[in-house]
Amino acid sequence: MKRIIVLLLILGSITMLMTACSNSNESATEETTLAQSAETRPPNAETMVVDESQLKNQKSSNFNVNGAGFTLIYAENETAAAFQKMLPASMEMTELNGNEKYLELSTTLPSHPESVGHIEAGDVMLYQDNCVVVFYDSFDTTYSYTRIGKIENPQGLKEALGTGNPLIYFS
C-alpha cells in the first residue's frame, strides 16, 4: 500500500511542474521538490488517498499543510472538477503579497474568470488558466479569478501556511 501511495504522489507531482506565476522560479528547484514530495508527505497520507473514480463526484477533499488539516469544499464547476482529477498531489506553493500562496501548473485548467471584488481567507482560486492560489487573508481586489473552492474553516490557515513556501498536500 505504501508503494502505491509513493507512486501516486510521484506521478501526481510529475504531472505538475511547479514554477512561480511570474516565472521567476525555474526547474532547478522543481526537480528537488518533485523528489522530496513523496518523502515529505504527511504521516497520515495513507488515509488521504482517494480512488480516482471517487474524486470525480467528490464535493470536498483534505488539504494538509505543515501538519495542520483542513477541508476544501469544491465549487460546482468544470474548473473544480478538473482540479480534483489532478489529485492526490503535493504542491510547493510560493508566498505572494502577504495574503496568498500560489503555484503555476504545467497544464491548464478550464477557466471562466470573473471579477470577484472581494477575497475571503480560505478561498482557493484559479488565476488565468494555470495558477492555483490559496488566500489566507481577506481583502478587496480588482483581479479576476475562477473559483476552485473554499476551505471550510480557515481559522489557523495563515499560521499553518507560515511566511515561506510550504508544501501543501491535496488529497
d(CA 4, CA 40): 16
Domain extent listing, the chain:
2-41+56-170
Q: Which residue has the higher pLDDT, 38 or 165?
A: 165
Q: Cell for 31?
A: 526537480
DSSP state of 65: E
Tell me, what's the pLDDT at 67?
Answer: 86
Tell which wins on pLDDT, 102 or 27.
Answer: 102
Average the pLDDT over 23-28 and give the result. Answer: 36
For residue 153, pLDDT over 80 is answered with: yes
In this prediction the pTM is: 0.67
pLDDT at 63 (0 to 100):
84
**pLDDT value at position 24?**
37
The predicted model gives 49-66 an average pLDDT of: 63
Question: 103, 140, 96: which is closest to 23 by C-alpha?
Answer: 103
CA distance 160 to 151: 13
pLDDT at residue 89 above 60? yes
The confidence score (pLDDT) of residue 163 equals 86
Q: Does 39 score more than 50 pLDDT?
A: no
Asked if the model's pLDDT at residue 21 lies above 80, the reply is: no
Specify the range with the lowest mean pLDDT, choosing from 32-36, 78-82, 104-108, 152-156. Answer: 32-36
Which residues, in sequence order, are CB contacts of 170 under 8 Å at separation 6+?
Answer: 61, 62, 63, 72, 87, 88, 89, 90, 91
Which tens digits make up the pLDDT trace of 117-152? 999 999 999 999 999 999 999 999 999 999 999 999
- The CATH class that applies to domain 2-41+56-170 reads mainly beta
Per-residue model confidence (pLDDT) at position 58:
56
